[in-house]
Amino acid sequence: MKLWSGRFSKETASLVDEFNASIEFDQKLYKHDIQGSITHAKMLAKQGILSEEEAKLIIENLHTICKEIEDGKIEFKIELEDVHMNIEKLLIDRIGTTGKKLHTARSRNDQVAVDIRLYVKEAIIEITDLLRKMQETIISLAEDNMNTIIPGYTHLQRAQPVTFAFHVMAYFQMFLRDIERLEDCFKRTDSLPLGSGALAGTTYKTDREFLAETLGFSDICQNAMDAVSDRDLIIEFISCASTLMMHLSRFCEELILWSSSEFDFIEMDDAYSTGSSIMPQKKNPDLAELIRGKTGRIYGNLINILTIMKSLPLSYNKDMQEDKPPLFDTVETLKSSLFVFNEMIQTMKIKKDNMSHAAKTGFLNATDAADYLVEKGIPFRECHEIIGKLVLYCIENHGSIEELPLNILKKFSDKFEEDIYEKIDIKNCIEAKKSSGSTSQNSVAIMIENAKKRLNL
**Following DSSP, what letter does each residue of 316-383 receive, concatenated?**
--GGGGGGHHHHHHHHHHHHHHHHHHHHHHHHPEE-HHHHHHHHTSS-TTHHHHHHHHHHTT--HHHH
Q: Is pLDDT of 173 > 80?
A: yes
* Mean pLDDT, residues 247-252 taken together: 98
For 129-148, the pLDDT digits (tens) are 999 999 999 999 999 999 99
**pLDDT at position 373 over 70:** yes
pLDDT at 8 exceeding the cut of 90: no
| pLDDT exceeds 80 at position 12 | no
Please tell me the predicted confidence (pLDDT) of residue 17.
66
Give me the amino acid identity at 33.
D
Radius of gyration over every alpha carbon of the chain, rounded to an integer in angstroms:
31
Residue 276 annotated to the active site? yes
**Region 217-226 average pLDDT:** 98
What percentage of the chain exceeds 70 in pLDDT? 97
Q: Assess whether pLDDT exceeds 60 at residue 4.
A: no
Q: How far apart are CA 235 and CA 323, in angstroms?
A: 9
Rounded CA separation 221/116 (Å): 14
For 456, left (φ over 0), alpha (ψ -120 to 50), or beta? left
pLDDT for residue 94 is more than 70: yes
C-alpha–C-alpha distance, residues 427 and 146, integer Å: 12
Overall average pLDDT of the 22-48 stretch: 96
Task: Tell me what pLDDT residue 19 has.
Answer: 76
- Kindly tell me if the per-residue pLDDT of 20 is higher than 80: no
Task: Round the average pLDDT of the chain to a whole number and report it.
Answer: 95
Q: What is the mean pLDDT of residues 24-46?
A: 97
Active site residue 63: no
Give the pLDDT band (50/70/90) at residue 21: confident
Looking at residues 299-305, what average pLDDT do you find? Answer: 98
pTM exceeds 0.95 for this model: no
Task: Kindly tell me if the per-residue pLDDT of 14 is higher than 80.
Answer: no
SS3 content of the chain, % helix, strand, coil (to 5): 65, 5, 30
Report the run of H or E that residue 98 belongs to, with start and end: helix 97-100
Which of 14, 260, 276, 357 is the catalytic position?
276
Contacts of 125 (CB under 8 A, 6+ apart): 186
Given pLDDT bands bounded at 50, 70 and 90, which one contains residue 300? Answer: very high
Q: Among residues 9, 155, 277, 311, which one is catalytic?
A: 155
pLDDT digits (tens, 9 = 90+) for 390-403: 999 999 999 999 99
Average pLDDT over residues 213-241: 98
For residue 279, give Cα distances in angstroms to 263, 264, 267, 276, 284. 20, 19, 18, 5, 11
Average pLDDT (244-264) is 97
Peptide bond into 315 cis (omega under 30): yes
Give CA–CA dist 44/37, Å, rounded. 10
Domains of the chain (ranges plus CATH)? 5-104 (1.10.275.10), 109-146+153-355 (1.20.200.10), 358-454 (1.10.40.30)
**Cβ–Cβ < 8 Å for 374, 401:** no
* 8 A C-beta contact, residue 35 and residue 215: yes
Adjacent-strand bridge partners of 73:
none
- Using CA atoms in the order 158, 412, 398, 432, what is the torsion angle rounded to 10 degrees? -40
